[in-house]
Amino acid sequence: MEYRLSMNKINKTFPGVQALSNVKLDLVPGEVHVLLGENGAGKSTLMKILAGVYPPDQGEILINGQKVVINNTGDAASLGISMIYQELNLIPDLTVVENIFINRELIQGWPGRYNWKEMNRQAGEILADLNLAIDPGNYIRDLSVAQQQMVEIVRSISSNSKIIIMDEPTAALAEQEITELFKQIKLLKEKTVSIIYISHRLPEVKEIGDRVTVLRDGKYVSTEDAKRVKTEQLIKMMVGRDIKEFFPKEDTEKGSEVLRVKNLKRKGVLDDISFSLQQGEVLGFAGLMGSGRTELMRAIFGADQGVEGKIYVKGTELVIDSPETAVKNGIALLTEDRKSSGLILNFAVYQNISLATLEKYAPRGVIDQKRERKRAGELVVALKIKTPGLETVVNSLSGGNQQKVILARWLYRNAEIIILDEPTRGIDVGAKVEIYQLINQLTKQGKAVIMVSSDLPEILAMSDRIAVMYEGKLNGILSREEAGPEKIMQLATGVMTMNLTKEGSI
Amino acid sequence: MKNGVKDELRVLLSKYGPFFILLAMLIILSIISPYFFTVLNLTTILIQTAVVAIIAIGQTLVIITGGIDLSVGSYLCLSAIIAGLMMTSGLPLALSLILALVFGSFLGFINGFIVTKMKVPPFIATLGTMGMARGTALVITGGLPVSRLPEALAWFGRGTILGMPVPPIIFVVTALFFSWVLISTRLGRYIYAIGSNREATKLSGINTDKYLLIVYVIAGFLSAVAGIVLIGRLGSAHPTAGIGYELNTIAAAVIGGTSLSGGIGKISGTIIGALIMGVLNNGFTLLGVSSFYQQIAIGAVVVLAVFADVLQQGKVKQ
Ligand SMILES: Nc1ncnc2c1ncn2[C@@H]1O[C@H](COP(=O)(O)OP(=O)(O)OP(=O)(O)O)[C@@H](O)[C@H]1O
Ligand SMILES: [Mg+2]
């Protein structure tokens, strides 16, 4: 068989980490090759080597049987390789179409003017194909994470590449967008484009993959036929052990009400939302992208201006006008976008972990760094954060491990109300189970958890009740027993509406 | 292996680059001019550098938060003039000085207020207050220096403690203190966090406006401290004092490795930056080169220092 790509004996070390040792990967035309592995296994690093972001320390890359040297991203592009990065890479102050055609703008006439008409037409066409309600003239900064992800995908689809690398493209997407993406992937396959596909959502392996390669601790484990291999086998290859239960939900005693939200409004974003939350409860929030879930959480947390309505914490009405007030009153918010609103990228791991709890280690303003580091060290162990050390700059951690760092910041803050916006985004199977167990521990201690998630199986399995949002409205709240995928989808798409009582509980 | 050594050298250079530049300058000047490496001359350099160094410390804090303070020179001047006027109107020296420090802090508070509450970008906010403070200084003095200041004031500019001149002592103590603040306190940690990612810092439940305000107040306070040292040395307060100090202090910070985009910087770097400029100044004077050339040299050093930084970062990113 003619290989479009083969990577052989690839080695790469970073200070303190052997990210890849003797890894291989090959690709035939028109296949979707899934790359699996735990957080920090080296998937993104391998792909960045192919895309010209890092040079390999050793190893060879063949394209169509020819040995090539890829020194920078420009080389990769001219070899027909394009990559959708795990961390979004768009320029916020440019429009969608400007981002899509950046560095390869269409030129017409002499001395050369940008042909915006044609660029807009092409971008619009692909956006329409993908069923996306995004205007090519919109600014990136005004788009949600999921929409930005889709723009990244459009950018690489429109680049006529022969090899497209997708690093966790579905992490930020909900069911519907994923369906659209998969349609596009199938079209690309028909055009013999080869796709390398990275994901932590295992059902996707069978759904979209042809072959699958597993990495573990920077080493090559095996390549399998995606349709024939068993999921349990893949998990064993990835984490080195079996996982019995994926969603270890435990029932807990529900206590008194800790949070009540009444008639919350924000113009054009949130429409008259009321609900309540009890001690020991996990309240899931489902909905499509842009349905207002993140905005609702930010509103409760005091992160945005212009919010009307009432919020009661443990029965007392509070005016939460800043995150500071929210935190002081026992509310924690894990934000969905780790890069822009979560991490301090140039801070060390331990400094990122302690950021929200620093007053504990510095009652009089002077930080007790020994205690700070000790605690951070414990959390790194507890959450199995893979890092060369506490002093490592968080920017150099793998995506999933960065997510765990923010989790560590909030999960141990001893808040009464813990809001988790997409907590398991980009997290590997093993670590997901650990996070669920943590949520169990929290609810057992009588804490209340709100979990926003686009992962339907996760939200179905881990929530006591599920609130579904649609276009800024709370369209219904389902109990654990009545909830199912169809019902949630109907509520999320506005096909069905439930009559909620004023208090939002049924 | 070879690569490793090279990398280490690079790290060393980038970490202590400005220090090596300073060292090289000291060695070269010592060879060229026999007068340069004498206790008297080195002390002179320290005294001359003190004023800019003290303000540059405040400037560094502001720049680390992602801001910039163009008003430092004007604030120095206005605080000095207020101090001078109070003294000449008969207020006791100590009280005048304390009030001048409070006044300087208040001026800083105005900057902080405009930046955090009125949401005007720091560059514009402090450009505005720079003009207003300078104008005020000229109006209240009618453009004339405030002189006949009390004898005792000279101690701050020319006095000694155990044989050491006072201005360098003030700046070293200030530098040590704020280094400690940056490294060991919550305020310091927040200053870096705000400069790196203000949104994320805010969402961690931190009152970013409060800490930004504190930083501008510190910058104003240190301008007043520098103002006192300056009038102590000169014996009078000129309404044109401190012109161009905003650029000198920014240069000192930048030479010392502080990033204008925020989140990165050290006081020790800034002090070395200020000393490099002081030594250049002194060296040129000793060699009898026109002060016009000094400006060219300082400009070149700024560009080179930042270029070295860019080189280093480019390497890391690749
Ligand atoms: N720029 C870097 N500097 C230093 N270390 C790095 C850098 N990039 C990655 N690493 C390290 O290399 C290892 C592999 O990281 P990589 O990002 O490839 O993991 P991954 O398989 O993509 O994980 P995830 O599923 O979490 O995204 C990790 O231990 C990570 O800390
Ligand atoms: Mg990755």
The complex's ipTM works out to 0.88
- Give a yes or no: residue B260 inside a domain: yes
Q: Which of A424-433, A472-481, B173-182 has the highest mean pLDDT?
A: B173-182
Q: Please, what is the angle between helix B291-317 and helix B245-255, to 10°?
A: 40
Pocket test for ligand 1, best of A398, A405, A406, A429 (most atoms within 8 A of CB): A398
- Give a yes or no: residue B152 inside a domain: yes
CA distances from A479 to A285, A453, B58, B253 (A): 12, 16, 57, 59
B/e letters for B156-180, b = 16+ CB within 10 Å, e = fewer, are: bbeeeeeeebbbbbbbeebbeebbe
Domain of residue B221, residue span? 40-279
Provide the terminal-to-terminal Cα distance of chain B, rounded to the nearest Å: 19
- Coil, helix or strand at residue B222: helix
pLDDT above 90 coverage of chain B, percent: 70
Beta strands at A58-63 and A5-14: parallel, antiparallel or unpaired: antiparallel
Q: Are A114 and A105 in contact (CB under 8 A)?
A: yes
Beta bridge partners of A21: A219
Closest Cα to residue B141, out of B233, B236, B228? B236
Out of A45-49, A174-178, B40-44, which region has the weakest mean confidence (pLDDT)?
A174-178
Contacts 24+ apart (CB under 8 A), B267-272: B267/B57, B267/B60, B267/B175, B267/B178, B267/B179, B267/B182, B268/B175, B268/B179, B269/B18, B269/B60, B270/B53, B270/B56, B270/B57, B270/B59, B270/B60, B270/B175, B271/B53, B271/B56, B271/B57, B271/B171, B271/B175, B272/B18, B272/B19, B272/B22
Q: Is the pLDDT of residue B180 over 60?
A: yes
What pLDDT does residue B13 have? 67
Out of A201-215, A463-477, B9-23, B38-52, which region has the weakest mean confidence (pLDDT)?
B9-23
Rounded to an integer, what distance in angstroms lies between the CA atom of residue A157 and that of residue A160? 6
**Using a CB-CB distance cutoff of 8 angstroms, which residues of chain A are in contact with residue B202?**
303, 322-323
Q: Are B316 and A15 in contact (CB under 8 A)?
A: no
What pLDDT does residue B314 have? 56
Q: Are A402 and A355 in contact (CB under 8 A)?
A: no
- DSSP code string of A438-459: HHHHHHHTT-EEEEE-S-HHHH
Q: Is the pLDDT of residue B12 over 90?
A: no
- Give a yes or no: residue B266 inside a domain: yes
What pLDDT does residue B2 have? 45
Residue A111 makes CB contacts below 8 A (sequence gap 6+) with none
Q: Is the pLDDT of residue A377 over 70?
A: yes
Half-sphere exposure (Cβ direction) of A147: Cα atoms closer than 13 Å: 18
What's the angle, vertex CA B152, arms to CA B150 and CA B153, rounded to 5?
Answer: 75
Half-sphere exposure (Cβ direction) of A178: Cα atoms closer than 13 Å: 18
What pLDDT does residue A504 have? 46
Q: Are A488 and A468 in contact (CB under 8 A)?
A: yes
The domain spanning residue B101 has which CATH number? 1.10.3470.10
- Give a yes or no: residue B32 inside a domain: no
The residue assigned the tokens 């005048």 is: B96
Interface contact B202-A303, CB threshold 8 A: yes
Confidence of residue B3 (pLDDT cuts 50, 70, 90): low
- Give a yes or no: residue B2 inside a domain: no
Rounded to an integer, what distance in angstroms lies between the CA atom of residue A382 and that of residue B303? 47
**Do you know the residue count of chain A?**
506
Rounded to an integer, what distance in angstroms lies between the CA atom of residue B87 and that of residue B147? 10
Q: Is A393 on the interface with B (CB under 8 A)?
A: no
Give the H or E element holding residue A421.
strand A417-421
The reply to whether the predicted model has a pTM over 0.90 is: no
Beta bridge partners of B94: none
Cα A81 to ligand 2 centroid, rounded to whole Å: 18
List the structure tokens of B163: 């044989």
CA distances from A337 to A420, A424, B200 (A): 11, 12, 10
Model confidence pLDDT, tens digit, residues B71-113 = 999 999 999 999 999 999 999 999 999 999 999 999 999 999 9
Q: Is B197 on the interface with A (CB under 8 A)?
A: yes
**Using a CB-CB distance cutoff of 8 angstroms, which residues of chain B are in contact with residue A343?**
197, 200
Measured between CA atoms, how close is B48 to chain A, in angstroms? 33
pLDDT above 90 coverage of chain A, percent: 58
- Give a yes or no: residue B95 inside a domain: yes
Closest Cα to residue A5, out of A232, A193, A201, A223? A193
Rounded to an integer, what distance in angstroms lies between the CA atom of residue B242 and that of residue A186? 68
Average pLDDT, chain A: 89
Q: Which of A23-27, A156-160, A178-182, A267-271 has the highest mean pLDDT?
A: A23-27
- Give a yes or no: residue B12 inside a domain: no
Cα A218 to ligand 1 centroid, rounded to whole Å: 9
Cβ of A95 closer than 6 Å to ligand 1, yes or no, is: no
For ligand 1, atom 6, the nearest C-alpha belongs to A396
Q: Is the pLDDT of residue A320 over 50?
A: yes
What pLDDT does residue A180 have? 81
Out of A123-137, A325-339, A436-450, A490-504, which region has the weakest mean confidence (pLDDT)?
A490-504
Q: Is the pLDDT of residue A505 over 50?
A: no
Q: Is the pLDDT of residue B318 over 50?
A: no
What pLDDT does residue B4 have? 58
Total number of domains constituting chain B: 1
Q: Are A469 and A155 in contact (CB under 8 A)?
A: no
Cβ of A40 closer than 6 Å to ligand 1, yes or no, is: yes
Rounded to an integer, what distance in angstroms lies between the CA atom of residue B79 and that of residue B223? 8
What average pLDDT does range A310-314 have in this prediction? 94
What pLDDT does residue B7 have? 66
Q: Is the pLDDT of residue A107 over 60?
A: yes
Ligand nearest to the CA of A394: 1
Cβ of A405 closer than 6 Å to ligand 1, yes or no, is: no
Q: Is the pLDDT of residue A432 over 70?
A: yes
Give the H or E element holding residue A312.
strand A307-313
Beta bridge partners of A17: A14
Cα B84 to ligand 2 centroid, rounded to whole Å: 62
Sheet holding A66-68, edge to edge: A66-68, A58-63, A5-14, A17-27, A219-225, A211-216, A32-36, A194-198, A163-167, A81-84
Rounded to an integer, what distance in angstroms lies between the CA atom of residue A215 and that of residue A400? 15
- Give a yes or no: residue B172 inside a domain: yes
Exposed, middle or buried, A502 (CB in 10 Å: 0-12/13-18/19+)? exposed
Out of A126-135, A391-400, A477-486, B260-269, which region has the weakest mean confidence (pLDDT)?
A126-135
Mutant choice from B204, B211, B315 vs A, greatest count of A C-beta within 10 A? B204
Cβ of A42 closer than 6 Å to ligand 1, yes or no, is: yes
